[in-house]
């Protein structure tokens, strides 16, 4: 195995761990939130589309097989099959969206920000639809406005802050050339 492949595998493993640690950090607010999306943004921003997507997918797979890497030290297919599982799977779509923007528009600063915003919207959309389906099957019908009020609106400002922080950190790490792929 070449040293570049070893470095790539190591970085993916480190960012899987980073996303897990970010998911365990819960910030108390009216609606508590974690730093998972920050971890996803940082992974793809720093590692690039391909390796970042591999790291995010690895994180989701680890959680799905039962490793307690999700928020609240949870894991397993129950977490995926639950109402918030769509948001977890949505992280993969966020990473893929960021990778697509990187491929189409390059690695410019504004592309990074735009890809994070659009990636987050994709995650919200996938997760919200998933939530509505699971909630309706388990509890009863629920309206889109209600679900957005529960699952999206309270997280808009925290997620915007996470995008800003991930962008700043990504740019600083790239300038320092700490991660060499």
pLDDT score for 29: 79
**Domains defined for the chain, CATH in brackets:** 3-176 (1.10.1760.20)
Buried b (16+ CB within 10 A) or exposed e, 8-28: beebbeebbebbbebbbeeee
pLDDT at 181 over 90: no
User: Residue 117 belongs to what H/E stretch?
Assistant: helix 109-138
Question: Is residue 118 within 8 Å of residue 105, measured between CB atoms?
Answer: no
User: Residue 33 belongs to what H/E stretch?
Assistant: strand 33-34
Structural tokens at position 64: 């799905």
pLDDT score for 134: 97
pLDDT tens, residue by residue, 141-179: 999 999 999 999 999 999 999 999 999 999 999 888 766
pLDDT score for 175: 85
pLDDT score for 68: 97
pLDDT score for 28: 87
55 φ/ψ angles, rounded to the nearest 5 degrees? -65, -45
pLDDT score for 177: 75
Alpha-carbon distances of 125 from 86, 136, 148, rounded to whole Å = 9, 16, 10
Q: Is 26 helix (H, G, I), strand (E, B) or coil?
A: strand
pTM of the model: 0.95
């Amino acid at each position: 195995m070449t040293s570049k492949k070893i470095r790539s595998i190591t970085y993916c493993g480190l960012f899987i761990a980073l996303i897990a640690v970010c998911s365990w950090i819960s910030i108390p607010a009216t609606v508590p939130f974690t730093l998972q999306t920050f971890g996803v943004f940082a992974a793809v921003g720093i590692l690039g589309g391909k390796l970042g997507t591999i790291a995010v997918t690895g994180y989701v797979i680890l959680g799905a097989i039962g490793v307690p890497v999700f928020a609240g030290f949870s894991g397993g297919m129950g977490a995926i099959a639950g109402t918030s599982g769509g948001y977890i799977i949505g992280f993969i779509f966020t990473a893929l969206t960021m990778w697509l923007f990187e491929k189409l528009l390059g690695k410019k600063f504004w592309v990074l920000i735009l890809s994070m915003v659009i990636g987050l919207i994709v995650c919200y959309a996938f997760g919200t639809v998933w939530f509505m389906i699971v909630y309706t099957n388990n509890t009863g019908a629920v309206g889109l406005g209600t679900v957005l009020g529960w699952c999206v609106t309270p997280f808009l400002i925290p997620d915007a802050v996470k995008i800003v922080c991930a962008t700043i950190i990504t740019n600083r790490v790239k300038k320092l050339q700490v991660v060499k792929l």
